[in-house]
Homo-oligomer: A and B are copies of this chain.
């Protein structure tokens, strides 16, 4: 973790309070855990933040000690390739995990940066691991999250058109926001166009043009960062609704926990 320690002081002072707010109950691990188990889990959860926009939670190459669950706010994870270009791996909003790709190499394979004021739960991996042995459900839950992320990334790696990728992105973002209690119709893009473009391996200009086109086709209404989905079903179909699988598969689009 490579943040300067200026706000570490703050975070320490707020740790207790934050931890009380953390409420794994509805954010990080809303699965069938007993209250007792939840308490044991909460016992080992630390806290980072609040991070301000632009702050890094971790950087590529940092030692891997914990996985992070976003409590509020949003992160992007990205890598920098040898030519210096940034590639955005994903966006992580409240209730979603970041840092899972670090388990194998035992160091962070990407950097995580706050897109807005953000607070996270830090779950020390070593202890999570041992706890997962005891708490029935936690282990399988972790595996499921990883598996889901894998499916989503594989879908992204497939050979779709720019239109399909952007439509799919908007649709899946809407579903994810819906799961968090936000409107599925009216979304606030908490990331700049450049990051969406990078994530979908497009040029910023292409994202801009496609949004304009979707609007002109009556699929969405764009107003700066505010997007209204006028025809979510059309977007879903455009977005290469994952073949064969039912509507459930569309959920596969991010590792919410």
Contacts and interface: CB of A to CB of B under 8 A. Distances in A.
A46 interface: no
A109 B245 contact: yes
Interface size class, chain A: 35 or more
A80 to B, nearest CB: 5
A143 interface: yes
A103 B146 CA distance: 9
Task: Point out which of A105, A139, A240 has the most chain B C-beta atoms below 10 A from its C-beta.
Answer: A105
Nearest to A144: B104
Interface stretch (A1-9, A151-159, A184-192, A208-216): A151-159
A16 interface: no
Copies of this protein in the complex: 2
A143 B245 CA distance: 25
A87 B159 contact: yes
Interface string A138-152: 011011111111110
A103 B60 contact: no
B144 A244 contact: no
Interface in A146-195: 146-151, 153-154, 156-160
Given A79-B244, A89-B154, 15 more contacts: A60-B244, A60-B245, A61-B244, A61-B245, A79-B242, A100-B147, A101-B151, A103-B140, A103-B144, A104-B147, A104-B148, A105-B148, A109-B151, A109-B245, A129-B139
14 contacts: A79-B242, A79-B243, A81-B240, A82-B240, A82-B243, A101-B154, A103-B140, A105-B252, A107-B245, A109-B154, A109-B252, A129-B139, A146-B150, A158-B201
